[in-house]
Structure 1
């Protein structure tokens, strides 16, 4: 089988979903895996997800993008102080998942968070970022780097663009002209009553709501074939997942 480049949506502590989608996509060590962030906060295995990804990275080429929830967890691992907003939005389950993790392993996890990418551009000029960016000059010119983890305007713009506006028109958003394709997570497709990846202009949203009632999704970026886990509530029937 030809090596593939596979992009993975927001995991949010759902290790069972991650293992399931890796199996369903028949992932091999020749495949490149690009993870769009938000590995933690939601289901009960956040620390275990991080450990699994650290081990996976030793076996094959993996690229890890940092999400907003990952930044919260990183700050907690470094400083030991709980952010109340984070605790309400999934941090509680993450803290609990670390109860049996030794200090030396926590340090390894902290290092893992610290060297994650804020965004990644491949050789075919495809951008991978957790949320988005706001600069019309592209992410390299982004003034507030927090936008890489929080921005939703890129997706909203792409989703609502008039499809009749041509790329050579002065009306076409300059943000969308920098890249062949853009892959994001952060905004669950469940918000639009969709359980599968969504596309607007050249932007692909791979977050299919694994933190809530949706599934975890993996997509082949060349063929657009995708694979999904079972809905996460079915894999963790005694849990509630993340708060809205």
Structure 2
């Protein structure tokens, strides 16, 4: 049976990703949708990109771009270090590229360039790293940085008064555009939740793999989910994005 499988923020945790995909038992009929933030955190950011490039040659994959991917792409192009990025996982990414040759870096740049800002499937489900602010959807977004940075969509979905009906003029227009919306970017650990979270029709798949959480994958039809071990346990001598 064909599955659409959505995967949360990886943050350089290749061991967690490999473990997760083994649990999922990916088949040729599956579609894998990655929600971004492949880099910055654990020590294998460059190796994660290599792995994803190879994975896409075997399976149907969609790669959404996250804010950390934007930072990494800019560094690969300009070789200029963004101080904020450096403090939020960029150092580990730079270190992971120390022994990567120019040809491989060029392949990675091509991979970054082909990432999508967002993706809408045949069932009108939206997949985006962070969110959007336009009530007309991301294609009408005035500030494209919202694709990778917005948190208002998720915060609104979490705090919605469940007594407000969808046909009410008070119901948020952003939540009516799509059947379901899948995001990463904001770790569920912020709410003391270790598994994928739902707010209205928005699903958050970022379960904090870059910090002290697990990497998660969700089947969007059945809502079955799988998780790696706590990624920090797979890199016991590292801190990831933990301070």
TM class by shorter chain equals over 0.9
Match status 1:62 vs 2:39? no
Unaligned stretches of 5+ residues in structure 1: none
Secondary structure of 1:229's partner? strand
Structural RMSD (CA):
0.7
Residue equivalent to 2:82:
83
1:88 and 1:243 in contact (8 A); partners too: no
> Deviation of residue 29 (structure 1)?
2.2
> Deviation of residue 243 (structure 1)?
4.4
Residue equivalent to 1:176:
175
Summarize deviations over 1:43-76 as a string: whole Å, max 9, x none. 0000000000000000011000000000000000
Match status 1:160 vs 2:159? yes
> Deviation of residue 212 (structure 1)?
0.2
1:90 and 1:243 in contact (8 A); partners too: no
2:212 and 2:242 in contact (8 A); partners too: no
> Deviation of residue 25 (structure 1)?
0.9
Q: Distance in 2 between matches of 1:145 and 1:59?
A: 31
Match status 1:145 vs 2:144? yes
Q: Distance in 1 between matches of 2:237 and 2:26?
A: 29
The size of the alignment, in residue pairs, is 243
Trace 1:205-220 onto structure 2 (pairs within 5 A).
205-220=204-219
Q: Distance in 2 between matches of 1:187 and 1:18?
A: 19
Query: Please, what TM-score do these two structures have when normalized by structure 1?
Result: 0.99
1:3 and 1:31 in contact (8 A); partners too: yes
Runs of 4+ in 1 over 2 A off after TM superposition: none
Q: Distance in 1 between matches of 2:175 and 2:12?
A: 31
Unaligned stretches of 5+ residues in structure 2: none
Secondary structure of 1:157's partner? helix
> Deviation of residue 103 (structure 1)?
0.6
Query: Please, what TM-score do these two structures have when normalized by structure 2?
Result: 0.99
Summarize deviations over 1:142-184 as a string: whole Å, max 9, x none. 0010000000000000000001111000110001000000000
